[in-house]
Amino acid sequence: MNLETGRPDHIEDALVSMHKGQWFGWSDASNKIYANLIIHDESKTKPTEEELNAKLIEIQNEFDGKETKRASAKQKLQDLGLTVDEIKEAFGIWAY
C-alpha cells in the first residue's frame, strides 16, 4: 500500500484481501515478489501470478471509486463553507 495515499500498489495488498489471517509469507521478506511467495495455510491454494495481478487491479479500482466519491464529498463540504482543516479533521490522514 502506498503510505502517502493508502492506495493498494503491491501483490501483498491483493493477498491480504483474499483471506484472513497469516496464510502466506515470503521466502525473502526483503524481496516480496511472486517467486518468493509461500503459503503457510494448507487449506489455501497458491493463487497464480495472473490472479494476484487481477485482484490487485480490482482492489485498486475499488479504492479509486471510493476516492472519487470522497473527493466529491470534500468539494461539496468546501462549497458549504468548511475549511480544509475542518475537512481533514472529518476525513482523517488521507484527506488531502
Over residues 74-83, the pLDDT tens digits come to 889 889 998 8
Asked if pLDDT for residue 96 goes beyond 80, the answer is: no
Q: Which set of grid coordinates corresponds to residue 27? A: 521466502
Element (H, E) at 39: strand 37-39
pLDDT of 67 strictly over 90: no
The answer for residues whose C-beta is within 8 angstroms of residue 55's C-beta and 6 or more apart is: 14, 17, 18, 47
Domain ranges of the chain: 11-91
Residues 6+ apart with CB under 8 A from 36: 26, 27, 28
Q: What pTM, to 2 d.p., does this model score? A: 0.77
Give every CB contact of residue 78 below 8 A, 6+ residues apart in sequence.
84, 87
Write down the pLDDT at residue 42: 95
